[in-house]
Amino acid sequence: MSRVRILRTLLVVLPIVALTVCVPLVNRIEPRLFGMPFILLWILFWVFATPGFLWGVGRTEGRW
């Protein structure tokens, strides 16, 4: 695989893994922010991080 393809695959797979496979690691109340349990903060983080990752995927195709 070329470097670009590896990067592209990582950008696509990471959010999926973070939100499904990693659940046991983040299933906790503390630390909290604004009173929110950590498990919800983790999801909230990916609501905003995923567009960044996917923007990267778009960039690997050149024209954007």
Partner 1 sequence: MHASSVVLILLLLGVTVLGFWAARWREKGSLESMDDWALGGRNFGVVVSWFLIGGDLYTAYTFIAVPALVYGVGAFAFFALPYTIVAYPFAIVTLTRFWTVASKRGYVTAADFVRDRYGDRSLEVLVAITGVIAILPYIALQLVGMKVIFGQLGGAFAAGGGVLALTVAFVLLASYTYTSGLRAPALIAFVKDTLIYLTIICAIVAVTHMFGGWAGIFDAAGKALAARPKPATLLLPSQLYFAYGSVALGSALALFIYPHSITSLLSARTRTVVKRNMALLPIYSLLLGFLALLGYAGIAAGIKVANPQLIVPILFQRIFPDWFVGVAYAAIVIGALVPAAIMAIGGANLFASNLFNEFSPTRTATETRIAKILTLVICAVALLFVIFVNPKYAIGFQFLGGAWILQIFPAFIIGLFTRWFHPKALILGWAVGIVAGTYMAIMTNFTANFPLHLFGGTLIGYGPLYALILNLIVTTIATPIFAAAKVGAGADFTSAADYA
Instruction: List residues binding partner 1 (CB under 8 A).
Output: 11-13, 15-16, 19-21, 23-24, 27-29, 32, 34-37, 39-40, 43-44, 46-48, 50-51, 53-55, 57-58, 61, 63-64
Q: Least distance (Å) from partner 1 to the CB of residue 62? A: 11
Q: Least distance (Å) from partner 1 to the CB of residue 35? A: 3
Measured CA to CA, the distance from residue 21 to residue 16 in angstroms comes to 8
Q: Least distance (Å) from partner 1 to the CB of residue 53? A: 7
Measured CA to CA, the distance from residue 50 to residue 44 in angstroms comes to 10
Contact 43, 20 (CB under 8 A): no
Measured CA to CA, the distance from residue 53 to residue 25 in angstroms comes to 21
